Amino acid sequence: MQSNFLKKIVPYTFVFPALLLLAIFSLVPIVIALLISFTGLDITGLGDWSQIKFVGLSNYLQLFQDNAFLQSILNTVVYVVVGVPLVIIVSLTIAILINSGRNSFFKMMRLVFYTPSITNTVAVAVVWTYLYNPSLGLFNTLLAKVGIAPIGWLTDPNVAKLSLIILAVWKAVGLNMLIFLAALQGVPRSLYEAAELDGANYWEQTRHITLPSLKFSIFFVTVTTLIAWFQFFDEPFVMTKGGPLNSTNSVALFVYQNGFQNSNFGYAAAGSFVMFVAIIVATIIQFKLQEKQRGE
């Protein structure tokens, strides 16, 4: 009886420090944010807690009537729908290409594609702002050389979103490529040899051996990329501040602007909770799909 109890309690003591940190730095703030989202907390309430008013659901109701918020949801959906598949396809393709050889050229290319991911997003975004500069940027200068009119990379509301996606994909490819590459190197050579004997060509081998073997890494990359793109923030924050005409504003940036620029903490907390729920729902759907696949 006694040893039974100890057996049960000992594992918990080992995970307790981790749980404690998780609680202090993750769970408690989430609960506090949830509570704040039902209040009208602003800069006055920050200094004097007696001034904080409970406003029920009105922050949430107001959010869904706020054009800026709806627009930022739409923008975020575009980021996710365009960006996530693009990242997976591009990084998988590059990984397969790089995996096809072993000499120093392939090693160098691996480095070339990986470098963007170890650089700081803000620094990179500043450099890209120069590249995108309407009159002096590298891109427009090159376009002018071949006689194409300058493109307002960050100033044209129809193009700006795409410009940010290009940058974010360029940056995200490296790490995911590495994950795919690691998985690829775990696929047994014997499978390819057998397929070759059966007369399967390169494309068939890729489709029927490589892709199925990468199922788990594709799932992992999808979930992490999805979450990252839901929280799309750095690029628009540094490069466009959400403009022009709100066309690049993301939900995360909307939350930041309301919280830290306008000091509407209650409203910003409500916005961040909407984002939180969206991410959780998207991840649960992913997991369900994955389970279904595994069951088949």
Partner 1 sequence: MKKLKRTVLLVGSLLALFLFLTGCGSNKAAANKTLTFWYAGDGDTAVKPIINKFTKETGISVKIQSIPWSQYNDKLLTAASSKNGPDIMLMGTTQMANFVSSKSLLDISKYVKNDKTLNPNNYFSSSEKTTKFGGKYYAVPWYVETRVLYYRKDILQSVGYDHAPRTWSELYEVAAKLAKRGKNMYGFNVDSSEPTFGFMFARQNGAQLVTNGKTQFNSSEMVGSLKYLNSFIQNGLSPKQDQKLTIAQSFGGKAPIPMFISGPWMLPTIEKEAGLKNSQWAVAELPKGKTSNLSVTGGGNLAVFQYSKNKANAVKLLKYLSKRENQITYYKNSNSMPTLKSAWTDSALKNEKIQVFRRQLNNSESMPLLKQWEEIGQNYLKAWEPVALENSDIQKAMNKFNKQTQQLIDK
| Rounded to 5°, angle at Cα 272 from 265 and 73 | 120
Distance CA 36, CA 176 (A): 36
Kindly indicate which of the ranges 42-50, 93-101, 183-191, 276-284 contains the residues binding partner 1, using the contact rule CB under 8 A: 42-50
| Contact with partner 1 (CB under 8 A) among 26, 44, 93, 293 | 44
Distance CA 37, CA 55 (A): 9
Angle 157-184/67-99 helices, nearest 10 degrees? 40
Task: Report helix, strand and coil shares of the chain as percent, to nearest 5.
Answer: 80, 0, 20
Cβ closer to partner 1: 83 or 137?
A: 137
Non-local (6+) Cβ contacts of 73 within 8 A are 251
Cβ closer to partner 1: 65 or 190?
A: 65
Largest CA distance in the chain: 85
| Contact with partner 1 (CB under 8 A) among 33, 42, 143, 224 | 42
Binding mask 93-122 for partner 1 (x = CB under 8 A): ------------------------------
Task: Assess 262 for contact with partner 1 (CB under 8 A).
Answer: yes
Which residues pair with residue 39 across a beta bridge? 54
Kindly indicate which of the ranges 41-49, 89-97, 188-196, 198-206 contains the residues binding partner 1, using the contact rule CB under 8 A: 41-49
Task: Assess 50 for contact with partner 1 (CB under 8 A).
Answer: no
Task: Assess 141 for contact with partner 1 (CB under 8 A).
Answer: no
Which stretches of the chain bind partner 1, using CB under 8 A? Answer: 2, 5-6, 9, 13, 16-17, 20, 24, 40, 42-44, 46-48, 68, 129, 133-136, 152, 155, 157, 243-246, 257, 260-264
